[in-house]
Structure 1
Amino acid sequence: MPTSPHPTLPHPSRIPRPAHTPDALRAALARLAPARLDEMQATKDDAFAEAVEWRSLTPVQSWILTWAREIEIARRPALSARYAQAKAHLEDPDPLMAKEALEELSAVLNEATRDART
């Protein structure tokens, strides 16, 4: 009987959509894509610094939505596959293929953003 390479990790689609808080988003990312935690922290630091500089919560809200979208993609295998496929063809030498990849990438990001907001 075949075994999963990560038997203790749940299937990504079984990870519930996290709350829109830094701690909940970080916990979800730690389960889905732990290699991206440093990237998340760096962008969080930047967002909080901008919030102080701008005297606005807009950078923090943007950071939360960005990572909620990234987690939405990571937790849904079909959406993640579409995202990876589109990114792989963005620089295709065939302009039509590159355009289609850009349109698909945009559609994936829009879907993930919409669903992350619900």
Structure 2
Amino acid sequence: MSTPIPAEAGVLIPMPELTPAALREAVAKIAPSRVPDLTQHLFEATTSAQQTQSLAPLRAFIHSWAVFVEIERHPQRAARLHHLERLIQEGAEDPAPLLVEIQQILEKAEAETGL
């Protein structure tokens, strides 16, 4: 059980516990338009976990949404990631450096969640 860290300057919310309910609550606060995606992903992960008798789909769900929350709760980091994604979608001449920076953002967020 993780203990929420007090909100830092420039951080929208503390990092929630890594449970489906806590992640859903966090997503509802910082990116409400993504709650249906989270709900669908959780349904699919639960169904898959039951069918395969494995917790791997639920672990993947937690991992994915924990990283999402960790990025989105930092507005400057989230804005930079979305900007890089837009540049790639628009067909940047050389997307390689953009992809490297995106990977760095994802890796940093993953490390900060403790996953």
TM-score of the aligned structures, taking structure 2 as reference length: 0.84
Q: Which stretches in structure 2 are left out of the alignment for 5+ residues?
A: 1-8
Correspondence for 1:112 among 105, 109, 112 = 109
Residue 92 of structure 1: CA displacement? 4.7
Percent identity between the aligned chains? 29
Please give the root-mean-square deviation of Cα atoms over the aligned residues, in Å. 1.7
- Aligned residue pairs, count: 107
Correspondence for 2:54 among 47, 53, 56 = 56
Question: Separation in 1 of the partners of 2:10 and 2:38?
Answer: 18
* Structure possessing the higher radius of gyration over alpha carbons: 1
Whichever residue aligns with residue 44 of structure 2, its letter is D
Question: Separation in 2 of the partners of 1:19 and 1:90?
Answer: 32
Question: Separation in 1 of the partners of 2:41 and 2:105?
Answer: 22
Residue 54 of structure 1: CA displacement? 1.4
Whichever residue aligns with residue 79 of structure 2, its letter is A
Q: Which stretches in structure 1 are left out of the alignment for 5+ residues?
A: 1-10
Whichever residue aligns with residue 109 of structure 1, its letter is L
Question: Separation in 2 of the partners of 1:94 and 1:100?
Answer: 10
Post-superposition Cα deviations, 1:31-51, rounded to whole Å, max 9, x if no partner, equal 101111000000011111111
Residue 53 of structure 1: CA displacement? 1.4
1:83 maps to 2:78:
no
Residue 91 of structure 1: CA displacement? 3.6
Residue in 1 that maps onto 2:4:
none
- Runs of 4+ off more than 3 Å: 91-95
TM-score of the aligned structures, taking structure 1 as reference length: 0.82
